[in-house]
Amino acid sequence: MYALGAELIKKQDIVVTTVMEHHSNFVPWQQLAEKKQAKFQVVDITEDGKLNEELIMKHTKHAKIFAFTYVSNMLGTINWVSKIIKKVREQNPDIIILIDAAQAVPHKKVDVQELDCDFLVFSGHKMLAETGIGVLYGKKNLLNSMPPFLYGGDMINEVSIEKTSFASLPSKFEAGTINIAGIISLGAAIDYLSGLDMESVQEHEKELAARCIEELEKLGGITIYGPRDSFARSGVVSFTVDGIHAHDIAQILADKNICVRSGHHCTMPLHTRLGIAASTRASFYIYNDEKDIDALTAGIKEAKKLFRA
């Protein structure tokens, strides 16, 4: 936002994102549009939790930036990114496209050249690394055209009283002391995941999510959000239980050492769109198996009895 938007976005330009975004890929563009007096447009979802492609084409026709997620952290929706990018570029070749891949990179193969995105970002802590570390991929010509967004040590080429010149990529964007421990942990995580068959990882997660949905539906009184077809869903299952707040569900499960997340999951616009204040989210990864689903459903059964829901 700070470096890209500083030069690119002008008054009345159009910046587009979607209602399913994590706040980190929503709020910065919203604030950029407000600061620059640009137009901020948000693509809605369909009733089955997928991006409305007709609205994507409508909103991006004359847009400068389109930022959207590869995989929804709440709905579990896997967006057909390569198809979307191709269609958007056919009608607007000059648009800048950024992909939030934080929920994709740890779970599936991602090829930035195949996608033809301009920028792609992901975080380390979603892929078994430490917190506070992540990756920004950008096309070289765009990165070279952008000014630094922070100033300090190590991003300098030469300084004089009259002027300052900046280091070449990637140092231009690395002001101050780098997160050495985080970088080491990210490298270890990448090495570990690279040794796995990521297609098998994705299939494992999809199978667990499908079984979780099946078992939750047997309980009754539960609403599950996101696509039902396994092709379009990741290993994330968000749900609400009739008559019980998401935080109460999470607390009862936590007492049984079952880890879920409750709340709005940093997707308040999406929860507003769905007409709910909060949801409970079960997330499956390489360390989960069917026993975890059994424990989850048993815990929810107990919660329903306790609240007589």
**3 state SS of 275:** coil
Per-residue pLDDT of 115-158, as tens digits, reads 999 999 999 999 999 999 999 999 999 999 999 989 998 899 99
Beta strands in the chain (DSSP E): 14-18, 39-43, 65-69, 96-100, 119-123, 134-138, 156-159, 164-166, 222-225, 236-241, 261-263, 279-283
| Amino acid 1: pLDDT | 67
Sheet of strand 14-18, all strands in order from the earlier edge strand to the far edge: 39-43, 14-18, 65-69, 96-100, 119-123, 134-138
Q: What is the pLDDT of residues 200-216, one digit of tens each?
A: 999 999 999 999 999 99
Where the chain has pLDDT below 50, the residues are: none
The pLDDT, as a whole number, for residue 309 is 59
Q: Which residues are catalytic?
A: 266
- Judge if 2-148+183-194 and 198-307 fold alike in CATH terms: no
Q: Tell me the two tokens of residue 235.
A: 């290993």
106 DSSP assignment: T
Query: Residue 3 has what pLDDT?
Result: 83
> What is the residue extent of each domain of the chain?
2-148+183-194, 198-307
pLDDT of residue 57: 98
CATH number of 2-148+183-194: 3.40.640.10
- The pTM of the full predicted model, rounded to 2 decimals, is 0.95
Q: How much is the pLDDT for 2?
A: 76
What does the pLDDT read at residue 7? 79
As a CATH number, domain 198-307 is 3.90.1150.10
Confidence at residue 230, expressed as pLDDT on a 0 to 100 scale: 85
